[in-house]
Amino acid sequence: MRRKISGYQIFLFSLCPVTLVFGHILSYWLNIDADKDGWFNVYFVKRGWFWTSVVGWWCFIRYRGLQQVGSWKKVLLRYVVLTAWWLFFTQSIISGAAPIMDIVFTLTGGRCNFDVFDPNEILQWKLNEKFHDTVNRRQRSLAKLYNVLKDLKDDPTNMVKHALSRIESWVSENKDQLMEGNYTPGQLNEYIDEILHRWRKINSSNICQSLGGQWIGGHDPSGHIFLITLMSMFLLGELQAIGKRAWRALWKDKAVFEELRAHCIKILTLKTLWGIRTRRSPVNNVGDVRDVLRALVKPPLESAREVYYIVTLLVKYVFWNNPVILLVVLVGMWWWSFLITTIVFHTLWEQLSGLICAYIVATLVYLNIN
């Protein structure tokens, strides 16, 4: 007998595909300038599996506990499968072996490129504007490339020395062009590319990035789409198992809102200096001076105490009693990052390949969860 798919599972399995289609349609009308090196991307998305793991497991522990051995073993198995798939697809976990996404990239014609200088400018040396997509990335890559070439002491040829002097000028002085040298920009690009590929096997994007190169030319499955899909599926998939308990706990303790309201009212009704001046004006005796001093010192202290109580209540309510709020907020953040990625980064086919590769495993894991 075929198992009926619930409405929640329809939502679970359709959220990312529908968002991808929606984002692709928006990309025709919106022109968003997103920074790959922004703080949100660096500290949250690229470390997303860590945040997802912490929030997901904390929710399970708070709502299910560790006493139900059968339940947490099933969660652990699902988590291990998803984590292993994430590692094999995006990380070089075996020495010398590229991750699956980089194997796809190189098999479709991609490679690590070192076209640092503009080959079309023969009379004037200029940086290749196509070498990385932002000025900051270009400068960081030049610094890495300079350090790598400097370490190649077994090749003391004039070509290497010339390349070092050229790159050093941009790194140290941030110049956009230099005078003509003994070699053409195209020759120097080819030589840098040849010597680095001969020196080391560059079969992954991480190695390429560490050398200051540019990973271009092949089909690049979107790692962001892959990772965000996997993280969203894990959080929302596990919510199937803890959802009923989570929602009951969320609405059970309504007294906390009354406490918050009481503390907020107390802050707003504290006696202030303004209230004293309207009651007694002008200040002309010792009692008034004491009242003024009391109004200057006491209200801020009482306000700080009330704020402390409010923060404590909120932290307890969200982090301890109802961590499902963290889960929902985190899913919302991943969804927004997913949408921005579909609008700004990668081609549609690269986004689809990242999505499909995540769904291959996530669907098998969560289709029959009970």
The residue from 132, 197, 219, 224 that is catalytic is: 224
pLDDT at 176: 47
Q: Does the annotation count 224 as an active-site position? A: yes
Q: Does the annotation count 346 as an active-site position? A: yes
Contact indicator for 315, 186 with CB cutoff of 8 Å: no
| Lowest-confidence region among 19-33, 40-54, 190-204, 303-317 | 303-317
- pLDDT tens per residue, range 261-280: 777 777 777 655 444 444 44
Contact indicator for 99, 90 with CB cutoff of 8 Å: yes
CA-wise closest residue to 280 among 265, 290, 270: 290
E-assigned strand segments in 4-154: 111-113, 125-126
**Which residue do the tokens 């490679």 mark?**
111
How many other β-carbons are positioned within 10 Å of the β-carbon of residue 9? 18
Distance CA 239, CA 191 (A): 55
The average confidence (pLDDT) of the chain is 79
The residue from 24, 162, 197, 346 that is catalytic is: 346
pLDDT band at residue 173 using 50, 70 and 90 as cut-offs: low
pLDDT band at residue 84 using 50, 70 and 90 as cut-offs: very high
Name the region of 109 (left: φ>0; alpha: ψ -120 to 50; beta: rest).
left
- pLDDT tens per residue, range 281-328: 454 444 555 655 566 666 677 777 777 777 888 888 888 888 899 999
Residue type, 101: M
Q: Is 65 exposed, middle or buried (0-12, 13-18, 19+ CB in 10 A)?
A: exposed
The DSSP letter of residue 93 is: -
